[in-house]
Structures are given as structure tokens and as C-alpha cells.
Amino acid sequence: MSIFIDSGTTLLVQGITGRDGSFHAKQMLEYGTRVVAGVTPGKGGQRFEGNVPIFDTVADAVEKTGANTSVIYVPPPFAADAMMEAASAGIRLVVCITEGVPVLDMTRVYPYVKEKGARLIGPNCPGLITPGESKVGIIPGRICTPGPVGVVSRSGTLTYEIVYQLTRAGLGQSTCVGIGGDPINGTSFIDCLDAFEKDPKTKVVCMMGEIGGTDEQEAAEFVRDHMTKRVVGFIAGQTAPPGRRMGHAGAIISGSAGTAAEKIQAFKDAGMGVAQRPKDFIDLVKERM
């Protein structure tokens, strides 16, 4: 089992002929992901890598191929329209990799996508991977291996670090999800924790947060009140000075609400294991298997 994607996922790539889209579409194809279509306005009728048909619109791609998932590699000014176009066409899972999407745009996108009944992951995220089955986004497949550990993170780079450490220690992953760190994103920690709780394959969850906002505290409350599976957490930015923007646009401390200390205490109060360094995950996960 897994969450959100599996071997049955049929993927279309919006922006497949661009620099990033073409590079990562090849990576996903090589991993074994079922990439069934690409979308680039004005290039309909062409083919990518000789096999993947390209369409002018997402609606045409969905009608002709039955794609159920979309991954978006388009410039920030066009990302909002791309996300809404995918949801409008009946795509059930929309993954937006694009960084720098204006927050004002996301105030329109988020309610629209939910109204259409789709799940959005991102923007400004690395996507997700179910090792051995499907990769949607930019998480390197070679560092992942199938197993019982669920992974969810706001930071793309930290996702790679933890997954690599887990794999080296022989701890495979069920699904790894990078939700992105922007102030408004489509899928929260709680959404992922709830999905991992319901996934019979996932035995332990690794959750990587960072300073700023209250998402981690709310996730800790969810773990305390609704989860039977063990969760290990980590907070990045523990040495950041108050008021200083660090990393993602959403990572800013306001008073005490967004500090690393406040988040770590919330984890402890919820009975979660707390990693001080990424490599601490290994022993903490093994203790909870």
C-alpha cells in the first residue's frame, strides 16, 4: 500500500517541453512512472521521447489518455492557471513543483481546487514518490527503497537527506511526500498523517517541519488525538534568530508561535520522538518499529 500515488497512477506533465519539465519527465519515465501525456499549448500533436503524446490542453489529454494525476513545471506567472486547469479537467491529484508562485494567486487556487474535488500538493515542493511504484516530481528515485516508513516534510532538501539516511540504514519507505513550505499550500501535515494512519503498510512516520507558523503544532495535536502509529519529528532552523526569514516564504518566527523550541515542545507533549539532527531518525525509527 501507499498514499496518494501507486503503480496505477497515470501521469500527465504540464510544461513537458520546457527545460525542467523535459528533464524530470525523462527521470519519471526511467523510474517506471506511467507518464501517459504531456501538455504544452501550441505543441499538440507532437510526441515526447517518441512515445508520450503532447496535447494543447489538459482537458484534451485527460479525454484521450485517462490521466488521473498531473505534475506542473511551468513558470510562476502561469502556475495558478495550470493548477486550476488541471482540477477543472478532472485531475484528482495535482502536484505543482513551481517555486515563486505569488501568495495572492494561491488565495484563488486553493479554494478552486478543493471545490473541484482534487488534491493539490505544493506549490514550491519536490513532489512525492512511492518507492518501486511511482515517482511524481523531483525526488531522486535512487535514494529511495520500498518499506514501512512514511515520510512527510516541508523542506525538499531535508526530504532527500532523511530518505537517504533511512535507505542506508535499511529502513525503506512507503511514500515520501514533500508538501512545500509556502504560506498557502494544498496539502498539510495533517492530511498526510491521516493518510499514513490509514495505510496498512506504513508502520512509523517521519515528519520534518521548520520554524514559522503553527502547522507543526497543529500536526502534533493530531498525532496525540488521532494516531495510533508512532511519529518521529524534526524541526529545521533551530538556530535562526527571531524575526529573520529563513528558507521558505512561510518560515518566519512571530513572537513565540513559530520558534523551534515551541514546536519541539509540542512534539514532546504529543508523545512523538524528537530528532535533534537528521541522523537521529535512524535510532528513533528503529525503536518504534
Q: Look up 248 and say whether it is catalytic.
A: yes
Exactly one of 24, 119, 201, 248 is catalytic; name it. 248
Q: Taking the chain, what is the end-to-end CA distance rounded to the nearest angstrom?
A: 17
CA distance 198 to 17: 37
- State how far the alpha carbon of 90 is from the alpha carbons of 61, 64, 186, 189, in Å: 11, 13, 16, 24
Q: Hunting for cell 499514513 — which residue is that?
A: 196
CA distance 91 to 83: 10
Q: Is the peptide bond before 123 cis (omega within 30 degrees of 0)?
A: yes
Which ranges of 181-238 would DSSP assign to H, the alpha helix? 189-198, 215-226
CA distance 114 to 241: 36
Catalytic residues: 248
